[in-house]
């Protein structure tokens, strides 16, 4: 996948630990990945 395609992706983040989600978001940002996040806290929210 070309790097330019990664720069415009939307990420679905599923997790119940906000610290983990924050860490992932920071890692992506530090690596120049421009992103839009959709954050859900559990499996039920993921399905909805």
Query: How much is the pTM?
Result: 0.55
Parent domain of 20: 3-47
- Mean pLDDT, the chain, rounded, equals 78
Which pLDDT score, from 0 to 100, does residue 19 have? 92
pLDDT at 12 over 80: yes
- Counted domains in the chain: 1
Listing DSSP states for 3-29 in one string gives: HHHHHT-EEEEE-S-HHHHHHHHHHHH
């Amino acid at each position: 996948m070309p790097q330019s395609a990664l720069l415009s992706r939307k990420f679905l983040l599923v997790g119940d630990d906000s610290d983990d989600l924050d860490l992932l978001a920071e890692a992506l940002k530090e690596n120049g990945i421009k992103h839009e996040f959709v954050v859900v806290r559990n499996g039920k929210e993921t399905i909805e």
